[in-house]
Structure 1
């Protein structure tokens, strides 16, 4: 079961990060060393040129997330929040340590699947299929996705190419597509910063529904109010290290005291 009768999350682990380290490598070319031939040569040698710069983005982070939890990630810019989500989603390899997941993690949004030259309507179908929904499920949920996004509140925008959308409209549609599916683990990066207060409210309500339906939700946001309204637990990262992990109010108070935000 997803929750106990008292409303607290049941102790079924969905994500375990064990001493996770993530390192980016940035190749810099000097005098032709950045050419495709040189890159291929480095791969074949399994070596790195002296021009490779390493960025240690996540440093030894450990935590266990449970089914039914909504977990906020806070920290200053460049603290490793988004990198951590990508590693949990399997989009970035671990340098050291391990991530275990129960079920399929989904990182919002479905940017890779949405295409600017296609209409919003076709992108809803494409995005739903990309997330593993059947054509039947996409058809059943199509009207709900469009209504939730508010895309058509000021005209028939869903029939227009996505290149005609503002960045806010596109982000709302991405959130609406991703939120239409029941996820084992849903990770949202700054989604609630998009749109007016009405849309943010709908988003927060949908996250609560997703929690009840079984999954675990991770939310990265610089908006402490969204974190307070949505999450019952917070991870605070700085410079890739986990400084604090605990109840939302406790962690945010410590964060605000330290940063003055």
Structure 2
């Protein structure tokens, strides 16, 4: 399990192959297709927001403040008269940056530490894994909150905080996978013929460790998006006036009675994105397990 608690228990260091049709749940083809379309739309919003809207997300219009959905504002406006739809579209970029960036940090740090633990000898292995156990003892979101509070608000700091909270799960998985590969005959032969530990790790261990880590990463992106929105909701994410889904939820909570759209639609955006990413991640995991079976 990652420290944020999304998948695979901490004891399951190596994903065990499952026979087709028994352990792996095959998702309906339509659900994977819909999830792919949702993720594609979010990516377009993050990379090319101007394609989806020509409205300035930061344009203030006090006269149109708290307008309901409809008319010139399809999803209504916020307390400053800013268009909610435009802010959701432009908010996709920081939300995805945090989610993908944090997961990338966790994959990189987890793979390095896991391989070091598997190949560095008993003392180094014990030190890395005991530290990993300490981090896993804390709820992931709490750990991210502590790190973010120390670093301060900002997109980069939130990304680093969430990445740190996700790393322990990847350390365990990388170590378990590296231990299996390390004992393979071809790796033992490389050691026998004098290949160095670093060279051996880069040549054999890292390539064979990455595939399961990437499968785990595809599922954890959704968790990282939720964590990023949570930090933004608490004021520890991107700084105003940057549009971000969690920050929009925070603004909307005070106006639920008079302008429900302010909070509901950003919440829908978060939910759809996370569900879509998880569907694609689980489909990728099923395919990987089927290939290994």
Normalized against structure 1, the TM-score is what? 0.27
- Larger of the two Rg values belongs to structure: 2
Structure holding more helix per residue: 2
Which structure would you say has the larger RCO, counting Cα contacts within 8 Å and 6 or more residues apart?
Answer: 2
Normalized against structure 2, the TM-score is what? 0.25
Structure holding more strand per residue: 1
